[in-house]
Amino acid sequence: MPDKHPYVSGTGVLVQVLDHLKKSFPAIFDADVLRKLGLAPQNESYILNTLRFIKLIDDKGARTAEGQKTFTQHDSTAFEKAFSDLVKSAYADLFKIHGDAAWTLDSARLITYFRQADQSTELVGTRQASAFKALAIYSGKAEAPASSSRAKTKSPVASRAKSRAPVKSTASDDHPSEGGSSRIVKESGQERNLGLTVRIEINLPASGDQDTYDKIFKSIRANLINA
């Protein structure tokens, strides 16, 4: 068993491996098998350490009796009970401190525990917490976070629709100011003060005289400021 709590770079791969073991758990499950399955490329050791930590395989990758008994449970309730027992036994110290509340601890408290227990860096502690939470969810002891992918796909459309929506103005009053103007509009029953700033850059000819400069500024005043 690893001396420190295991961690993975992405919990999605860990879940994929566990799903595969429910379908087929070979007598030897090692890095070579992971490569043939196309799972966890270049990260085989992290996945195997996690499986060893919860005693699904031994140090040589051989399937354990506990692993075989757990992953041959057909009933989902029975599987979750057996799997959660393995996880709880592996993380005995965490459960000794927090009891069954450990299943649903927030990320901050889990990271604190793992960093203190293993003297982990912030990155490793965060990944250790993520690995435990993934195992807790797979055990049926914690709820999976609500997927935000659907909201993310809708938000750009909603933003564009909102930006294209006309702004109805029931009252407006222009107030010229230096370099810009402001307008009070009513949108959805609320008054909002909208400001507009215009920046003008003038490249004066080096060979011009005072009369030339006066004509340029006079034209700007007539056509832009007082238009």
pLDDT at 197 over 90: no
pLDDT at 166 over 70: no
Same domain, yes or no: 212 and 121? no
Task: Tell me how far CA of residue 96 lies from CA of 88, 90, 93, 101, 188, in angstroms.
Answer: 10, 11, 5, 10, 55
130 and 206 share a domain?
Answer: no
User: Is 5 a member of any domain?
Assistant: no
Residue 67 lies in a domain: yes
Residue 82 has pLDDT above 60, yes or no: yes
pLDDT band at 40 (very low <50, low <70, confident <90, very high): confident
| Cα–Cα distance for residue pair 36/23, rounded to 1 Å | 16
Asked which of 138, 159, 183 is the last residue of a domain, the reply is 138
145: in domain: no
Amino acid present at 8: V
Are residues 90 and 16 part of one domain?
Answer: yes
- Cβ atoms 87, 44 nearer than 8 A: no
Residues 128, 70 share a domain = yes
Residues 116, 18 within the same domain: yes
Note whether 191 and 110 are same-domain residues.
no
Residue 49 lies in a domain: yes
3-state secondary structure of 98: helix
Does some domain include residue 148? no
Whether residues 124 and 215 share a domain: the answer is no
- Final residue of a domain: which of 115, 138, 161? 138
Within a domain: residue 168? no
Residues 179 and 129 in one domain: no
**Residues whose CB falls within 8 Å of the CB of residue 37, separated by 6 or more in sequence, listed in order:** 20
Which of 138, 163, 184 is where one domain is finished? 138
pLDDT > 90? residue 153? no
**Confidence bin at 218 (pLDDT 50/70/90):** confident
* Dihedral sign, Cα of residue 9, residue 10, residue 11, residue 15: negative
Do residue 56 and residue 109 come from a single domain? yes
The answer on 206 and 116 residing in a single domain is no
pLDDT, residue 207, reads: 58
Confirm whether 162 is domain-assigned: no
In a domain, 156, yes or no: no
> Are both 111 and 28 inside the same structural domain?
yes
d(CA 107, CA 118): 16
pLDDT at 59 exceeding the cut of 80 = yes
Can you give the residue range of the structural domain that contains 215?
175-225
Q: Are residues 28 and 124 in the same domain?
A: yes
Overall number of domains in the chain? 2
